[in-house]
Amino acid sequence: MSILFLLIPLSLILLGVAIWAFFWAVDSSQFDDLSGPAYSILYDDDVKKSTSVATDTQVESKAKSSDITQHNG
């Protein structure tokens, strides 16, 4: 029974910290845009991959054209 004198105030303190953390997060705009960061990861990866693929294709086509001119000339 005497443990309740420790656990009840401890739980109230923990509740107060949780409520403070929630209001701090709301005040510092943590919940403003929930879906934007999730989609931005997907879009950034696609752009970088397509750019690198285009660059690799251009390099390969230049290498092939230079090989053809060296063998013909």
Query: Which is more confidently placed, 2 or 30?
Result: 2
Written as one string, the DSSP assignment of the chain is -TTHHHHHHHHHHHHHHHHHHHHHHHHTTTTS-SSHHHHHHHHHHHHHHHHHHHHHHHHHHHHHHHHHHHHH-
On average, the pLDDT of the chain sits at 77
Q: What is each CA distance from 11 to 7, 17, 20, 59, in whole angstroms?
A: 6, 10, 14, 64
pTM: 0.47
Q: Work out the average pLDDT over 17-45.
A: 84
Model pLDDT, residue 3: 95
- pLDDT band with cut points at 50, 70 and 90 for residue 57: low
Reported as half-sphere exposure (CB side, CA atoms, 13 A), residue 59 has a value of: 6
